[in-house]
Amino acid sequence: MEKFSKWRDNGTGIAPYLPHAKSKSYGLSSGTLGAKIDTPISLILGIVRIPVLLVFLLLHILIFQWNPVCRRLSLSACLYATGVWWWEIGVERIRKSTSNQKFNAKLPKSGDVIISTFTSPLDPLIYSTMYDSIFVIPQVTSTGTVFTPLGLFDTMAAAVSLPESNSHKGSYKLEEIMAKASRVKKVIVVFMEGTTSSGRALLPFVPLPSNEPLAIPGQSKIYPVAIKYNPPNITTPIPTHLFTWAWTLISQSSGWSVRFRVADAVDPASTKDIMGTIAESLTRVGRIRKVGDSLNIQGKRDFVQAWNNNIRKG
């Protein structure tokens, strides 16, 4: 869309905030017999999956969330009920044929830190099925960058919303959150982009406070992780209602596939530009490009305003 060319990266031509077109299941073209049949199938699937998903969610909230193992299992059941059926976990420089012991040794563990791409409410849900997680989304305020630990549902809500510029309740230093996560043996997942993209590119990281170099507690490691989806229209680069997004999720007749890519752990002690190294790792394992600094959180706010104005003009 040429009217939004202002929000294309000058170097790559990528528009990270343009939403993906609604996918046609199994690659069906609009107007074909298959596409016409697929529409009522999607409607039926959505209607059937809603009560199943609600039952799993209710069981999770009332019973299973209090036990880490049961919590991950119940959330996995929720994912399966929505149509997320196929997963592929990859580790950088480790072949799939490698022994499980060597493969698992390269995966994040309790107490480690994950710096992740951020594209969809599915991201925190997927992490919660794999780890006992604490989520962090940095915010830029008038007083600088602040960090607030979030739970699963708050993080999912943040994935369909614009970042709030003046809200930073319960903010801490990133190192304080990391230390707490390490003590309670949780994995901390940090979405350093600060907001969601379409998954076409890596957004500029929210800058760390200049007087607070990143320090990792104890034996913890930092793992860059990129998550990608197929079809990609489950991403939420522009704000939407969580229920609207959930309907897209449960009514996709072909289901969804997830690619979970883990880069080599990054050692802050031996790396001068820690965030630059992490960004490079994410672009490498995610097979994406990094866009310029103008496409930051404020750039997204400007884009969303232009997008909404265009919709109103119709």
Distance CA 18, CA 200 (A): 9
Query: Given this model, what pLDDT does residue 194 score?
Result: 95
What is the average pLDDT value for the chain, to the nearest integer?
86
Query: Given this model, what pLDDT does residue 26 score?
Result: 36
More confident: 81 or 268? 81
Question: Coil, strand or helix: which one is 181?
Answer: helix
- Work out the pLDDT band at 27, boundaries 50, 70, 90: very low
Question: Which region among 113-117, 217-221, 288-292 has the lowest average model confidence (pLDDT)?
Answer: 217-221
* pLDDT above 90 coverage of the chain, percent: 55
Please compute the mean of the pLDDT values over residues 75-91 and round it to a whole number. 92
Distance CA 145, CA 171 (A): 9
Distance CA 153, CA 242 (A): 10
Q: Confirm if 148 and 171 have CB atoms less than 8 A apart.
A: yes
Q: What is the pTM of this model?
A: 0.90
Query: Given this model, what pLDDT does residue 30 score?
Result: 40
Question: How, if at all, do strands 201-202 and 256-262 pair?
Answer: unpaired
CA 86 to chain centre: 17
Question: Coil, strand or helix: which one is 81?
Answer: helix
Is the pLDDT at 118 greater than 90? The verdict is yes
More confident: 309 or 152? 152
Is the pLDDT at 199 greater than 90? The verdict is yes
DSSP one-letter code for 208: P
Contacts of 96 (CB under 8 A, 6+ apart): 90
C-alpha closest to that of 217 among 107, 108, 112, 109: 112
